[in-house]
Amino acid sequence: MKKIFPAFAAFLIVLSAVSCQSDGKGNDSWRSLIEESDRLAAGQDWEQATEHVLKALSAPDLTDGGKSLCLSRLAALDIITWRDAQGWEHALEAERLARAVGTDTLIAAALLQKGRLQLCGAITEGEAQDEEALETLHEALSFASGSPSLKADILLQTSQAYIGLNRFKDPIDKEIYAKAGEAIDEAVASSKDPAFPSKALPYWMRWYRQGGNWKDGIECCKKVLEGLSDEDYLMQSQCWNNLVMLYAQAGDVDSSASAHQQYVYAIEHYMQKKADSRLQEMETRYETSLKEAQIARMRIWVVLLVVLAAALAVIMYMSMMYTRRIVASDRGKEQLLRLISKDLSSPQAGRKVSPSISGMSSLEDEAAVLARCEELLGEEDRDVAEDVALYISNLARERSREVKKLGLTARECEVIRLCSEGLSNAGIAGKLHVSIYTIKNHKQNIFLKMDVHSNAEMLSAANQLGII
């Protein structure tokens, strides 16, 4: 039983721990979460992509460098979802961490998002900071030499900064306009990605439009539209919007009007897609919350059942131990009575049981009691000796507790024992070398504590308590 109970308790603890675990979702690494975020962002599922980046920021294996990268990705998603103010805070924190880590590519990535946000204009309540953005992006380029793809992205944003500088100029500054085109050319040349030229087409499209090169601009827009998927309504709307202005520059009113209709159509579908996606997300979250609530309720029931099972096991164990003590005590009594009733005064035993057992209950050491019993009974009756020793030890402990409850002092117990030997008050006083008045005072205290009124009652109670 001593071996079974701890094993059963351990099983209950393990079962309780398992029941209190989460719904099975482990802690993913921040890298895998970022990769999943990139995949979702490629499918224009911006909200889910953002949630995965936020989870990555809480990942247990996240380093300072990883946190800087996550914040840069979060800033990029903030720009797409029109949360520019939050994006600015994320970009600044990403830059701070990147500089603390000292990794060039991380610094360049943070500065890229910072430059993009300066181009958005939300930081200054709608006024784009084109010159500040250009300065930030040039600094980013100085850290991006080790990453061709990052350098190419920075150069595309640099072209937008140059285009922004010409936004309100009429006529435009030819030198700045040329630098914008050169930045796009350099971006395409720097990138090792075969698909990057297609990524650069929208930037060429804006560049052509600002330069009044409507012919090349229209061709560029058409190329972009050809490379888009049917579901990419956001980019379609941007292309049709550019075509509206390019056809207007060319004087083709009908084509401009037709492009405007396509623009409105693309925007409507994009907004509908966003609404459907949001509705689906809300439905998914609602279903998830229902499942989590159901799991939580089941977990509570499991924990309650485990606790009840553990409590029942403890009660059963305690009951069994108590029963064992009672059985052992009864067996000890039985063996003791049998031995006392049996005459062991034979020449071999040399003594009776009663005198030998007398005084054993005053021994505090259980080992000493057992040794006395074994000495009396011999090796052949070792089991009987153990039962008797257990009974005597338990009896001694119970009597000791009762004596302590009464509050009898050692001197008062000694007075009781001397009184049991038939000594008078004067005899006890002489033996203890105290006055007779001291003995009388001791007896008065003993009578009060034991709630007795005579020597006979005192000795009877003392006998029951094992004092004599």
Q: For the chain, 468 residues long, give each residue's pLDDT as a single digit of tens.
A: 444 444 444 444 443 443 444 343 444 689 999 999 998 888 778 888 999 999 999 999 899 999 999 999 999 998 888 888 899 999 999 999 999 999 999 999 999 999 999 988 644 445 668 899 999 999 999 999 889 999 999 999 999 999 888 888 888 899 998 999 999 999 989 888 887 877 888 888 888 888 888 888 888 888 888 877 877 777 788 888 888 888 888 888 898 899 899 989 888 887 887 777 777 778 877 888 888 888 989 999 999 999 999 999 999 988 888 777 776 666 666 666 555 544 333 334 434 445 555 555 455 567 777 777 777 666 666 777 777 777 777 777 777 787 788 888 888 888 988 998 888 888 999 888 899 999 999 999 999 988 898 888 898 888 877 777
Q: Which domains does the chain have, with CATH numbers?
A: 342-406 (no CATH), 408-468 (1.10.10.10)
Structure-block tokens of residue 107: 């610094």
Instruction: Please name which of 84, 78, 74 lies closest in space to residue 119, comparing C-alpha atoms.
Output: 84
**pLDDT score recorded for residue 334:** 64
Q: Which two tokens stand for residue 68?
A: 């800087």
pLDDT for res 8:
40
pLDDT, position 137: 94
CA trace torsion 233, 235, 240, 244 (10° rounding): 140
Residues 6+ apart with CB under 8 A from 133: 115, 116, 118, 119, 157, 161, 164
Predicted local distance difference test score (pLDDT) of residue 379? 60
pLDDT of residue 34: 92
Question: So what's the pLDDT on residue 413?
Answer: 85
Q: What is the pLDDT of residue 287?
A: 86
pTM of the full structure: 0.51
